[in-house]
A and B are shown apart, each in its own frame.
Chain A
Amino acid sequence: MPEHLFTSGHTACSGCGQSLAARLVIDTAGPNTIVVNNTGCLEVFSTKYPESAWQVPWVHSLFENAAAVASGVEAALKYLGTKDTINIIAQAGDGGTADIGLQALSGMLERGHDILYVCYDNEAYMNTGVQRSGLTPFDANTTTSPIGNNSKGNPRPKKPLPEIALAHGIPYVATASVGFPQDIQRKVKKALSIKGPKYMQIHVPCPLGWRHEPQLTYAIAKLAVETGLYPLVEFENGVKSARQIKPKPVEEYLKTQARFKHLINNPEELKRVQAVADSNIERYNLKLQ
């Protein structure tokens, strides 16, 4: 029996945050779990035939339909009478979740399936070469939100996907970060102890897409949380709790990544990004009292 349910030997880039988070999630969920995976980096780097990193039953269908495929798996297990002993995890990237897969996700949440949906948020379409998604942060330089004379990068803030999930009235919504592994484990455990649809969104740095040193993955993930740019929040039956922080200036986070390089000597733009963090801090009451 291998040490992990997601084994080494896959082809992820060094420092890939998504691979670390995926391993934490499945190791926490345990062997009695079926995984349904959207198209994206994770699927590509973990299942190149004839090898697979997955030690649990795992299925890939398409880019936008993990939530719908998982709904079918769940219905089948209910029919077979085995649902109560088996976890179902549907997982996808931010693009597969917030954009093209949003309809299938909404359907899954609204219908009340007993599924944990995990979005690995590396803040762009990485598998196809760093194009912007609905979860790309404000001002990030991507291949489809490039900087130029008329552009400071991505013109819009992140889509509030946790709130969109929450608006479905589901029992559990959480954000997490690969910078806080034990927090991921705790949240996965809690999510799987609850019946019904659960949504988790995990911030996972991508050295290639964010253009940072691979050894900085954890540090950068932590900084995103500590600046207030990636709040760690949890909604259990709608009741909110959040990880408290002593907010650091956003520049500390931004300067670690070349996707934000154009902001560093631009006090005006820095202020705007700081405003995003400040609004998060206020909205979720993040400041350590």
Chain B
Amino acid sequence: MKEFQEGSLAVAEIVRMCKPGVVSAYPITPQTHIVEELAQMVANGDLKAQCINVESEHSAASAVFGASAAGVRSYTATSSQGLFYMAEVLFNIAGVRLPIVMTCANRAISAPINIWNDQQDAVSLRDCGWVQVYAEDVQEAVDLHMIAYRLAEDKNIMLPVMVNMDGFVLTHGIETVDMPSQEQVDKYLPSYTPLYKLDIKNPMTIGPLVDPDYYMETRYAIQETHKSVLGMLPKLTEEFSKVFGRTYNGLVEGYRLDDAEKAFVAMGSVCGTTKEAIDSMRKKGKKVGLLKISCYRPFPHQAIYEALKNVKKVAVLDRALSLGSYAPLASEIKSVFFGKKKGPQTISSFIVGLGGRDITVHSIEEAYKLIGKKETCEFIDLKPELLKENYA
């Protein structure tokens, strides 16, 4: 049913329909509306979950670790500093292969403290073993949560999934969302039966000490499973479209790419603005398109190669930095084409919208003008007058 709904409330609603048995989270802007809504659902008896109001994000991640190890579908949500505070537990969750789903309301990182949107939080944790998917709009955020549980709990995968949605832009944005019925969700997402769990009838030691004789294989196994995710996601999205009628590729999505000579690459809500800019540039005869990266971990090298191999010039929009080096997404896009016969002549890298700075159609057009002229880390929408003030 189509509803006019705030992103956070829509996500809370879909999480409810995914029927987690344990929810544990710690408040941080802009994630709060999601967990407040879930708490209200539990209070009203609409969600039959145990809600643990922990004393920190470290404990939130730890609590869902414990709940998932005990064999129950579990959910958490966080953002920014909270995600970083969870960091060591997140590696652990992936290492123990627990199929937890988390929403990350993407937000900038301190200092300076800033509650607004960019993607530095999740991008900085790209190596923790979690699958990372990024939503362009609220509808996609809703749908990705169902897909996330299916993927995480697949017996050939058994990895945690982080659903990223841009803070405020999507968490607090109000959009028209097609909310599924409980029957549809149940059809797509069966109840969870764990492969292993803490079970008094079948006692197991989970999380033992593993020495150099055995450690490397556990990491290799996760690396291999990430490859399987690349095959699994498109299958799950295909199944998804059969039940819900909405189509996703799962890995990447091209927009007006077929005859494009120049193409942007981006993740998350900036894709919406970029599409708008592309439409207006197309009207002026410019052959430009977009490749949206839906799945950032695993990184879909092959799908990106196929989508961009015939594009002449590529411009990557990063909403995060790897301070002291190339921007994270741009450097990986470049790595896709290393040693390949086909590929763009230039790959330019643009930094947009850090700490919530508005990304407008004009920002994208500015970047467009610089495609091929600037190769590395060009900041768009910088305010030169502020730089003078600070350093003069």
State the CA gap A125–B209 with chains docked (Å): 18
- Cβ-defined contact, A72 with B200, below 8 A: no
Known: A32-B200, A58-B206. A69 touches B63 (CB 8 A): yes
User: Using a CB-CB cutoff of 8 Å, which residues 201-227 of chain B contact chain A?
Assistant: 202-211, 214
Pair A104/B66 contact, Cβ less than 8 Å: no
Supposing A64-B58, A75-B52 touch, asked if A58 and B205 sit within 8 A by C-beta, the answer is yes
| Segment at the interface with A among B67-75, B163-171, B250-258, B286-294 | B67-75
Question: Using a Cβ–Cβ cut-off of 8 Å, how many residues does chain A contribute to the interface with B?
Answer: 44
Q: How far is the CB of A78 from chain B (nearest CB, A)?
A: 5
Q: Tell me the complex Cα distance, A255–B10, Å.
A: 67
Question: Is B54 interfacial (CB 8 A cutoff)?
Answer: yes
CB-defined contacts of B349 to chain A, threshold 8 Å: none
A75 contacts B205, C-beta separation under 8 Å: no
Contacting pair B69 A75 (CB below 8 A): no
Contact call A62/B214, Cβ cutoff below 8 A: no
Are B207 and A107 in contact, with the CB atoms below 8 A? no
Contacts of B64 in A (CB 8 A): 72
B200 contacts A33, C-beta separation under 8 Å: yes
Report if A48 contacts B (CB, 8 A).
yes
**Which residue of the partner chain A has the closest CB to B24?**
A72
Q: Is the CB of B65 within 8 A of A72?
A: yes
Q: Given A36-B66, A69-B63, A78-B50, check contact A59 B92 (CB 8 Å).
A: no
User: With a CB–CB cut-off of 8 A, which chain A residues contact B68?
Assistant: 72, 76
Number of B residues, CB within 8 Å of A? 45
Which of A59, A62, A77, A107 has a CB less than 8 Å from the CB of B206? A59
A106 with B55: in contact, given A58-B206, A72-B63 (CB under 8 Å)?
yes
Given A34-B198, A75-B24, A79-B22, the answer on whether A58 and B203 have CB atoms closer than 8 Å is yes
State whether A59 and B211 are in contact (beta carbons under 8 Å apart), knowing that A72-B67, A73-B69, A106-B55 are contacts in the complex.
no
Nearest CB of chain B from residue A214's CB, rounded to whole Å:
23
Assuming the contacts A50-B214, A58-B205, asked whether A71 and B54 have C-beta atoms less than 8 A apart, the reply is: yes
Q: How far is B207's CA from A50's CA once the two chains are assembled, in angstroms?
A: 11
Contact between B71 and A76 (Cβ–Cβ < 8 Å)?
yes
B53 close to A (CB within 8 Å): yes
A62 to B64, CA, bound (A): 14
Does A98 make an interface contact (CB < 8 A)? no
Interface contact B208-A57, CB-CB below 8 Å: no
A68 interfacial contact with B, CB 8 Å: yes
The total of Cβ contacts below 8 Å across the A-B interface reads 160
Q: Are B214 and A59 in contact (CB under 8 A)?
A: no
**Cα–Cα, bound, A48→B209 (Å):** 5
A70 to B66, CA, bound (A): 6
Judge whether A241 is part of the interface by a CB distance below 8 angstroms: no
**How many angstroms from the CA of A44 to the CA of B197 in the assembled complex?**
21
Chain B: minimal CB distance from A100 (Å)? 10
In A60-105, which residues have CB < 8 Å from any B CB?
60-62, 64-65, 67-80, 86, 103-104
- B23 CB, min distance to chain A CBs, angstroms: 9
CB distance from A189 to the nearest CB of B (A): 18
Residue of B nearest to A59 (CB): B206
B72 touches A80 (CB 8 A): yes
A46-58 contact mask (Cβ, 8 Å, vs B): 1 or 0: 0111101011111
Q: Identify which of A52, A71, A76, A79 contacts B208 (C-beta below 8 A).
A: A52
Report how far A48 CA is from B208 CA in the complex, Å: 6
Structural contact, A71 and B63, CB atoms closer than 8 A: yes
Q: Are the C-beta atoms of A72 and B70 separated by less than 8 Å?
A: yes
**11 cross-chain CB contacts under 8 A:** A31-B203, A43-B209, A52-B205, A52-B208, A56-B203, A59-B206, A61-B96, A62-B89, A77-B70, A103-B59, A107-B59
Interface residues of A (CB under 8 A from B): 31-34, 36, 43-44, 47-50, 52, 54-62, 64-65, 67-80, 86, 103-104, 106-107, 110-111
Extra contacts, 11 of them, besides A47-B207, A49-B209, A55-B203 (Cβ < 8 A), are: A57-B200, A59-B205, A60-B206, A65-B89, A68-B58, A68-B63, A71-B52, A72-B62, A74-B66, A75-B67, A111-B53
